[in-house]
Copies of this chain bind each other. A is one copy, B any other.
């Protein structure tokens, strides 16, 4: 029996592409905890959310292999990569899935569009403890030093405590030096949305086209009360939000029962 057989098997993925600094950083951290299989795409997949590829076949290439480590390149989305790994590349069910470290925030409703969190949610649906990490710095050469310490801490806790089936963690890290980080806060998703401002341009042939631009609009009073991820991040805390893949609005489901009384026919 190889020594690695007793170590956790960790799947690492991201949505910024296989050469992203945050991905290399997360692989390095994961290797401290166990055997690592990494998979990502050549091109950035930001904004791919939970998209899957149905109409074209996927390609996979083993780029690197050494003791306790394999790295694959795929043509698929982050969720495609997770599915491929689970079902065709890993010899057994992984003990942990790590996604990131994303270059840029995935707090509040940004999670809806996030390929990083799409991959983490795919892990949760498949009952694998999964964590998505994002640093609030979009730059290619972002500094992940403070993020590394946070990632180690959260990974250690999840390996020890586990996560309930169908729930993953959305971890966002403020872009400040480690010395200015005030700790971790367990939060709920702030009520906010992306306010788009499409920029309309005309191409050299006279046809219009649109570029998606926009800024995040926080609907929370006073920038989000204590307890929201936006408040935590603005105050130099790391936000950890547990995310569920059961998207039922349970409190409203109860209220909908009242609709029955007003004439909507409802199964008995």
Give the interface of A toward B (CB within 8 A): 44, 46-55, 57-60, 79-80, 83-84, 86-88, 109, 111-113, 118, 121-122, 125-126, 153, 157, 160-161, 164, 166-167, 182-189, 191, 193, 196-198, 200-201, 207-212, 232, 235, 237, 240-250, 252-253, 256-257, 259, 262, 264-268
Residue of B nearest to A46 (CB): B54
- With both chains docked as a complex, state the minimum distance between the C-beta of A224 and any C-beta of chain B, in angstroms: 13
Q: Which 5 A-B pairs have the closest CB atoms?
A: A49-B50, A244-B249, A188-B248, A183-B267, A57-B209
Residue of B nearest to A111 (CB): B247
Do B83 and A212 touch (CB < 8 A)?
yes
Chain B residue contacts of A167, Cβ below 8 A: 249, 252
Q: List 29 A-B contacts (CB under 8 A).
A: A47-B53, A47-B54, A48-B51, A49-B49, A52-B113, A54-B212, A57-B210, A58-B198, A59-B207, A59-B208, A83-B196, A86-B196, A87-B197, A88-B198, A109-B245, A112-B121, A112-B125, A153-B264, A161-B259, A183-B266, A183-B267, A184-B264, A188-B246, A188-B248, A189-B247, A241-B248, A242-B252, A243-B249, A244-B249
| C-alpha spacing A183/B200, complex, angstroms | 46
| C-alpha spacing A35/B88, complex, angstroms | 49
Residue of B nearest to A182 (CB): B267
Chain B residue contacts of A245, Cβ below 8 A: 109, 112
Do B53 and A266 touch (CB < 8 A)?
no
Do B257 and A247 touch (CB < 8 A)?
no
- With both chains docked as a complex, state the minimum distance between the C-beta of A7 and any C-beta of chain B, in angstroms: 22
- With both chains docked as a complex, state the minimum distance between the C-beta of A124 and any C-beta of chain B, in angstroms: 10
Residue of B nearest to A195 (CB): B87
| C-alpha spacing A207/B57, complex, angstroms | 12
A212: contacting residue among B80, B200, B250, CB under 8 A: B80
| C-alpha spacing A53/B211, complex, angstroms | 9
Chain B residue contacts of A50, Cβ below 8 A: 49-50, 112-113
Do B247 and A244 touch (CB < 8 A)?
yes
Do B264 and A59 touch (CB < 8 A)?
no
Do B247 and A58 touch (CB < 8 A)?
no
- With both chains docked as a complex, state the minimum distance between the C-beta of A118 and any C-beta of chain B, in angstroms: 7
Chain B residue contacts of A51, Cβ below 8 A: 47-49, 51, 113
Of A160, A186, A201, A235, most buried by chain B (CB within 10 Å of CB) is A186
Do B259 and A212 touch (CB < 8 A)?
no
- With both chains docked as a complex, state the minimum distance between the C-beta of A257 and any C-beta of chain B, in angstroms: 6
